[in-house]
Structure 1
Amino acid sequence: MPLHIVRNDITTMKVDAIVNAAKESLLGGGGVDGAIHRAAGPDLLKECRTLGGCKTGQAKITKGYRLPAKFVIHTVGPVWQGGSCGERELLISAYRSSLELAFANKCETVAFPLISSGAYGYPKDQALKVAVDTIGDFLLSHDMTVYLVIFDRAAYTIGGKLFADIAAYIDDHYVSEHTDSLEEQRRRSAGFNAPSMTEVPWTPAKAAHWSDKNLSQPDERFLTTSMWESIPGTPLTPTAAPLPPTSLTISLDEALSQLDESFSQMLLRKIDERGLTDAQCYKKANIDRKLFSKIRSDVHYKPSKPTAMAFAVALELPLQEAREMLGKAGFAFSHASKFDIIVEYFIAHQNYNIFEINEALFAFDQSLLGG
């Protein structure tokens, strides 16, 4: 189930198991390994001495002792040697072995560090991708909540290297949304800003006023406050004209009967159309089963924006249908939001791997989908 990427100290995580990036001896060391041993106390080292070490790519389990976690899963990642010595396969094996060991010991929540990315020299951007891909693949077929704990800032700000194309997409869409046109700047500098965008009735007194000045009826959107005040019968703050009376009276029951399809209804319809099971959908959306149950049982459920987007991704909706689903939840894609632009980028490029999307969101310091 959900994969969360967080910044935290892994020794403080209240989960069933934390994973230790250990040496083959399992006798402690620096970095995460040393921090976990210090937090757990000397009894952890005593138990580790009985395990006979651990080979690279494999994992072994001990008690958590003084840690908030019940277990510590010790795994040995590869030392980076340029990438041509099987490092990626060994790193995948380290994650996979740890996950399988956690599942065998009935762990429902597990926290990982970014294995091999410290003293072992594995490039942080590549280490993060291996972690996200491997954990994400495992969670598609297992019920477990996993936290990928990033401690140092250097691992957190990798977006410029790994996602240059996304950065360019953000620049093309986000910057243009916040750059005024020359015409807008000219109007602002000249003071032509209407005091209100509400429509003001055009009265005979106003018409006479402008006729005396040999002027045609102005575009009221660009009148200055002084120009408004000079028009007879015009209030300082314009108000909207009253709506014309209507002979059509709609009862509350009739109005409610005309409500459009809700988010929950559209979601369930799309799941059926795609031929997915509920479990396949919420796992692909990185959504917890309990949250999905709430949405299924409440036709009027209003999800958060990341949840709504996560389901649009899981259902592999084209951009227009994704916008429609988001609208059912009361939201819209906005080019004033980097979060929205990044998700839009992936949907527009038909990449619906939610773990890759979250990897990009994390790298750009945005909240994640699902969870």
Structure 2
Amino acid sequence: MKKEDVLVCSGPKNLKLNNGGLSKALLSAAGREMQDELYQNYSNGVEYGGIATSRGYQLPCKFVYHGALQKWGTSQPDPLSTLEEFMMTCLVMANSHCRSSIAFPTLGLGFLDYPSDQVAKLMTKTIGDFSFKQSAVNIKDIVIVVFEEERLSLQSQTDLKTYNQFHNEAQKLTLIINMKKRSDLHPTGPNIPPT
């Protein structure tokens, strides 16, 4: 796995990493020091959409941004709004700290029951919004981790559908970003000679 500057993780509000699926796996890989750092610096946990930061310890990253998302079906606060706020805050924070790469899991899927099609659209939209709103972007790589490559052949139809949804949304986003880069190079439009 490539080493990213920042890895994003959603878990419980109290930041007890053993109580979440992804957070439990990260804790196991990172080591107990990660949990100790969170207890020391965030004794009250985080609110939905908020961020707590820790070092990466034994993980292939420098830092981990921890946050909490509520289960799908909760009306207040709106889960998609919270997801968007959390992602945007992660991106802005990573950018302001001059991080060059950040990796997001497919946030809200699994135990939290977010619909994968809505998550795929929102995650890619948030990345696009971030890239267009920032005057200077230090982040060079934004990765959405859908699932491990070596387990591809073992994945269910649902996982393949999720992968395809993210892949399609990412292709649309790439096209939009490439169009923006071209318009930045040619602010008045491309210089096309008359025919």
TM-score by length of 1: 0.39
How far did 1:157 drift?
Answer: 1.5
Q: Secondary structure at the match of 2:15?
A: coil
SS at match of 1:75: strand
**Given the alignment, which residue of 83, 87, 90 partners 2:79?**
87
Q: List runs of 5+ in structure 1 lacking aligned partners.
A: 1-11, 163-281, 293-310, 316-371
Larger RCO: 1 or 2 (CA < 8 Å, sep 6+): 2
- Work out whether residues 9 and 66 of structure 2, in 8 Å CA contact, stay in contact via their aligned partners in 1: yes
User: Structure 1 residue 286: deviation in Å?
Assistant: 7.9
| Distance across 2 between alignment mates of 1:34 and 1:41 | 10
Task: Identify if the C-alpha distance between structure 1 residues 286 and 120 changes in structure 2 by more than 3 Å, giving closer, same or farther.
Answer: farther
Deviation of residue 104 (structure 1)? 2.7
Any idea what SS the aligned residue of 2:16 has?
coil
2:177 aligned partner, one-letter code: K
Is the aligned partner of 1:151 residue 2:151?
Answer: no
Question: Alpha-carbon deviation of 1:108?
Answer: 0.8
Query: Cα–Cα, structure 1 residues 13 and 74, in superposed 2: closer, same or farther, change >3 Å?
Result: farther
Q: Which residue number corresponds to residue 21 of structure 1? A: 10
Contact 2:8/2:65, CA 8 A, preserved across alignment: yes
Taking structure 1 as reference, are residues 286 and 59 closer, same or farther at Cα in structure 2, changes over 3 Å only?
A: farther
* Count of aligned positions: 162
CA shift for structure 1 position 97 = 1.4
1:48 maps onto 2:43 in alignment: no
| 1:284 CA displacement | 2.1
Of residues 19, 32, 49, the one that matches 2:22 is: 32
Contact 2:120 / 2:165 at 8 angstroms: preserved in 1? no
User: In structure 2, what is the Cα distance between the partners aligned to 1:158 and 1:19?
Assistant: 19
Query: Separation in 1 of the partners of 2:164 and 2:94?
Result: 34
Alpha carbons of 1:49 and 1:83: their partners in 2 closer, same or farther (altered >3 Å)? same
Per-residue CA distance 1:319-341 (angstroms, 9 max, x = gap): xxxxxxxxxxxxxxxxxxxxxxx
Aligned-residue offset at 1:114: 1.1
- Contact 2:72/2:113 (<8 A) preserved: yes
Q: Which runs of 5+ in 2 are unaligned?
A: 149-154, 167-174, 187-195
> Which one of 118, 123, 127 corresponds to residue 135 of structure 1?
127
Change (3 A) 1:105 1:85: closer
The separation in 2 between residues aligned to 1:148 and 1:160, in whole angstroms, is 13
The one-letter code matched in structure 2 to 1:102 is A
- Partner of residue 99 from structure 2, selected from 97, 101, 107: 107
Tell me how far 1:13 sits from its aligned partner. 4.1
Amino acid at match of 2:27: H
Relative to structure 1, the CA distance from residue 64 to residue 56 in structure 2 (aligned partners, 3 Å threshold; closer, same or farther) is same
> Which runs of 4 or more aligned residues in structure 1 lie more than 6 Å from their structure 2 counterparts after TM superposition?
159-162
8 Å contact from structure 2 (residues 102, 143) kept in 1: yes
TM-superposition CA deviations, 1:89-122 (whole Å, max 9, x none): 1110111111122123221100000111121111
The TM-score with structure 2 as length reference comes to 0.72
Larger % of strand: which? 2
3-state SS, counterpart of residue 72 of structure 1: strand
The question of whether the paired residues in 1 share the 8 Å contact of 2:7 and 2:104 is answered with: yes
What is the letter of the counterpart of residue 31 of structure 2?
G
Structure 2 SS opposite 1:49: helix
Identity in percent: 25
RMSD between superposed Cα atoms in Å? 3.1
Task: Say which of 263, 282, 285 aligns to 2:178.
Answer: 285
